[in-house]
């Protein structure tokens, strides 16, 4: 199923419901009540005993954090994102449950049956391992490593995951008028390469627990203890070698480091021990002569591994990935073991979410634009879209003013930046044209088979783009999603209807609160077009330098200031089992730049809006000035509590900073905050010197 763009507002790891797999042991009872709407501004969430000039996050969110510990079925609990996700998911569940019981159209029958199959735990138990045994049989019949390319193509044609790598079609980053074939690294089961290669007690313990988990899973599938140990050792050796060959997440943020055009002959020379012609012919992709090999070192190493690792080791590796990547859909014993390691050990989650939540989220991800058609009719009226259009225009104007006022940028680069800003496309709410899922076969009793059919549909949908111009109206998120994103190759900002709800966007709230909520979100996504990654693309979405050398140098000095600043922010404290975990300022640089820019831009847009209404930032509502309400509204978007284990994982894999630093890290870089709260220069939230890019 399709993945999300990399420059989204919020980490997928933190919010994607299916990141916690469905538990067949959970109660199948329906939810008892609709979650309430969330207030856009909540004074009761604040800790007024805290000094806003010392720790603004504690001041704005302290009481909420004290009163809202992470629920047992979550690893992160956020005042805005989590609560709105729960509400949206409940409203979506109502639609799915009704369609499963009494569909009114072929579309409702399709997604109703998909949901019903997910909820049918008796069928899951009855089928047992049967849904994956045919794939295992194909793996067992391998006679030579040379047959692996043909096997991978057969598995992928069936929708069966196999590890190894990711192949798809994407926009050519240096010619955004066309879409080309792409190869990306893959093959790992743990969250990141660091888990395999960093030598400290914390990661060593996780590796030991991962090995124990694999042995248990192989044993559940029928291996003897000796067989399970042997297969586990083979998987661990191969995945560790893949991890060593993988490019780091931080390096992958640089588009120039993931753009390497190869001819098919050059690819064969790079990785000669994998027959690419057999693989490409087998998966049915159209003809192409060149492709982007995003991570050449990985494929060079993979080829060497194919010649050095024995056939039985590769069989174990393939068996593992078929089992591991579908464990969420297998009977209780497999799910429980999978949950215990991947959610509990790695994330600190105490118990799985209720089955209806998981099945609602899975159906949304699988058939999102089918489900979304009915959802938006009920939850996103035309008036909401019109209001968003006006807000976006206000933010565009503010960003234009910001560009003109930048002291470090020359006129030549300012002109190019303004041209790019004028070319940004805005997509609000939902697609103009819905995807057609009518070809996807869905059964009410075969969950894994349904997921395979969706995966094949998504793959073929993607492959059909080869050689064609990009569809600028296509979406990468489903309508109920509580998130937003900027796509550099399209130069567009995208706001699903799911986030255009209270507390982000509230018709009844004053302008300061709306600009502090959805206004900063809009400014954040716009700024992504000008962060350390987005600034390398021009207005047409092409990877091309448009800043002068002098301006690029000045820009880099300012982004390095932010990277160094966030390197010093603590993500998780030291424990007896693990050292203190700090943020990676370069991994999170794009998001931190967007947060800092978005806060400034939305503030300017608020000033302009209030001026048009004959109002000022000094006017008070419920004891707070409009300026103060703006910053408090912004901060309360990010009120959250997170399990320590999850916080450590996010610091390694997530390009977003945690809520505390998304708030304190930005306000301490913006003088208007210190002025609004009467802070003294030199206090933590009003430092003498601050970082600023936009």
Low-confidence winner among 87-101, 291-305, 381-395, 407-421 (lowest mean pLDDT): 381-395
Strand partners, 426: 493
Report the percentage of the chain scoring pLDDT > 90.
91
Is the pLDDT assigned to residue 11 strictly greater than 80? no
Is the pLDDT assigned to residue 91 strictly greater than 80? yes
At 20 the pLDDT is 37
How many Å apart are CA 462 and CA 465, to the nearest integer?
A: 6
> Residue 283's CB: how many other CB atoms inside 10 A?
18
At 508 the pLDDT is 81
Burial of 319 (0-12, 13-18, 19+ CB in 10 A): buried
DSSP 147: G
How many Å apart are CA 455 and CA 449, to the nearest integer?
A: 10
pLDDT digits (tens, 9 = 90+) for 160-208: 999 999 999 999 999 999 999 999 999 999 999 999 999 999 999 999 9
Task: Kindly name the residue from 73, 353, 492, 525 that is annotated as catalytic.
Answer: 525
Task: Kindly name the residue from 86, 595, 626, 654 that is annotated as catalytic.
Answer: 595
List, in sequence order, the alpha helices (H) in 78-129. Answer: 81-101, 106-119, 121-127
Q: Which pair of structure tokens corresponds to residue 312?
A: 């039985």
- Give the CA dihedral 121, 123, 128, 130, nearest 10 degrees: -140
Active site residue 595: yes
How many Å apart are CA 361 and CA 364, to the nearest integer?
A: 5
Q: Which pair of structure tokens corresponds to residue 414?
A: 């300012």
Domain ranges of the chain: 129-329
At 7 the pLDDT is 65
**Do 381 and 41 form a contact (C-beta atoms < 8 A)?**
no
Using alpha carbons, select from 277, 270, 254 the residue that is nearest to residue 303.
270
At 29 the pLDDT is 64
Confidence of residue 24 (pLDDT cuts 50, 70, 90): very low
Is the pLDDT assigned to residue 3 strictly greater than 90? no
How many helices (H) and strands (E) in the chain?
30, 13
Tokens 């560009």 appear where?
403
- What are the two backbone dihedrals, phi and then psi, of residue 593, each rounded to the nearest 5 degrees? -60, -40
Confidence of residue 577 (pLDDT cuts 50, 70, 90): confident
> Residue 544's CB: how many other CB atoms inside 10 A?
14
How many Å apart are CA 19 and CA 358, to the nearest integer?
A: 9
Active site residue 42: no
- What are the two backbone dihedrals, phi and then psi, of residue 489, each rounded to the nearest 5 degrees? -75, -20
Confidence of residue 25 (pLDDT cuts 50, 70, 90): very low
Q: What is the mean pLDDT of residues 318-341?
A: 97
Confidence of residue 276 (pLDDT cuts 50, 70, 90): very high
Q: Does domain 129-329 have CATH number 1.10.300.10?
A: no
Is the pLDDT assigned to residue 504 strictly greater than 80? yes
Confidence of residue 674 (pLDDT cuts 50, 70, 90): very high
How many Å apart are CA 500 and CA 430, to the nearest integer?
A: 11
Angle, helices 589-612/382-405, rounded to nearest 10 degrees: 100
Confidence of residue 652 (pLDDT cuts 50, 70, 90): very high
Q: What is the mean pLDDT of residues 280-297?
A: 98
Is the pLDDT assigned to residue 294 strictly greater than 60? yes
């Amino acid at each position: 199923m399709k993945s999300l763009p990399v420059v989204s507002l919020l980490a997928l790891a933190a919010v994607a419901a299916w990141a916690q797999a469905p538990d067949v042991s959970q109660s199948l009872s329906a939810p008892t009540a609709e979650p309430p709407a969330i207030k856009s501004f909540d004074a009761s969430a604040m800790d007024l005993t805290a000094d806003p000039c010392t720790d603004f996050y504690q001041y704005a969110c302290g009481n909420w954090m004290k009163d809202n510990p992470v629920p047992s079925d979550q690893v992160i609990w956020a005042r805005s994102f989590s609560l709105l996700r729960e509400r949206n998911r409940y409203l979506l569940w109502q639609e799915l449950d009704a369609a499963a019981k009494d569909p009114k159209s072929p579309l409702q029958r399709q997604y109703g049956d998909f949901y019903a199959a997910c909820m049918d735990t008796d069928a899951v138990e009855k089928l047992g391992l049967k849904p994956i045994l045919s794939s295992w049989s194909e793996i067992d019949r391998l006679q030579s490593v040379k047959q692996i390319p043909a096997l991978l193509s057969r598995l992928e044609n069936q929708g069966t995951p196999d590890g190894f790598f990711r192949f798809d079609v994407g926009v050519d980053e240096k010619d955004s008028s066309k879409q080309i074939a792409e190869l990306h690294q893959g093959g790992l089961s743990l969250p990141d390469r660091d888990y395999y290669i960093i030598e400290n007690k914390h990661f060593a313990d996780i590796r030991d627990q991962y090995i124990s988990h694999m042995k248990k899973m192989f044993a559940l599938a029928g291996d003897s203890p000796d067989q399970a140990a042997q297969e586990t050792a083979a998987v661990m050796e191969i995945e560790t070698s893949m991890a060593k060959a993988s490019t780091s997440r931080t390096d992958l943020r640089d588009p120039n480091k993931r753009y390497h055009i190869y001819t098919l002959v050059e690819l064969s020379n790079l990785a000669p021990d994998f027959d690419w012609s057999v693989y490409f012919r087998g998966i049915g992709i159209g003809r192409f002569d060149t492709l982007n090999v995003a991570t050449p070192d990985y494929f060079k190493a993979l080829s060497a591994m194919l010649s050095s690792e024995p056939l039985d080791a590769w069989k174990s590796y393939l068996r593992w990935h078929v089992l591991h990547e579908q464990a969420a859909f297998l009977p209780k014993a497999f799910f429980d073991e999978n949950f215990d390691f991947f959610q509990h050990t790695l994330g600190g989650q105490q118990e799985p979410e209720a089955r209806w939540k998981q099945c609602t989220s899975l159906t949304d991800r699988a058939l999102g634009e089918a489900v979304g058609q009915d959802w938006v009719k009920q939850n996103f009226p035309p008036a909401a879209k019109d209001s968003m259009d006006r807000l976006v225009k206000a933010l565009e104007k503010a960003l234009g003013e910001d560009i003109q006022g930048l002291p470090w940028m020359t006129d030549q680069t300012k002109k190019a930046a303004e041209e790019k800003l004028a070319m940004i496309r805005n997509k609000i709410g939902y697609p103009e044209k819905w995807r057609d899922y009518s070809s996807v076969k869905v059964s009410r009793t075969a969950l894994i088979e349904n997921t395979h059919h969706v995966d094949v549909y998504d793959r073929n949908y993607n492959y059909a783009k080869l050689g064609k111009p990009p569809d600028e109206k296509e979406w990468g998120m489903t309508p109920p999603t509580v998130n937003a994103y900027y796509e550099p190759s399209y130069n567009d900002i995208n706001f699903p209807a799911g986030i255009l709800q209270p507390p982000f966007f509230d018709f009844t709230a004053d302008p300061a609160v709306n600009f502090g909520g959805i206004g900063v979100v809009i400014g954040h996504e716009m700024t992504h077009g000008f962060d350390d990654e987005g600034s390398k693309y021009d207005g047409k979405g092409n990877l091309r330098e448009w800043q002068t050398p002098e301006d690029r140098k000045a820009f880099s000095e300012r982004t390095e200031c932010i990277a160094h600043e966030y390197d010093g922010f603590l993500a998780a404290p030291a424990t007896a089992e693990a050292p203190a975990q700090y943020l990676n300022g370069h991994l999170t640089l794009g998001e931190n730049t967007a947060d800092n820019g978005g806060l400034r831009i939305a503030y300017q847009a608020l000033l302009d809006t209030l001026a048009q209404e004959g109002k000022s930032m000094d006017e008070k509502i419920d004891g707070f000035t409009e300026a103060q309400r703006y910053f408090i509204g912004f901060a309360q978007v990010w009120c959250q509590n997170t399990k320590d284990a999850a916080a450590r994982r996010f610091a390694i894999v997530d390009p977003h900073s945690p809520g505390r630093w998304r708030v304190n890290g930005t306000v301490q870089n913006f003088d208007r905050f210190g002025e609004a709260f009467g802070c003294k220069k030199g206090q933590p939230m009003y430092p003498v010197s601050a970082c600023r890019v936009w």
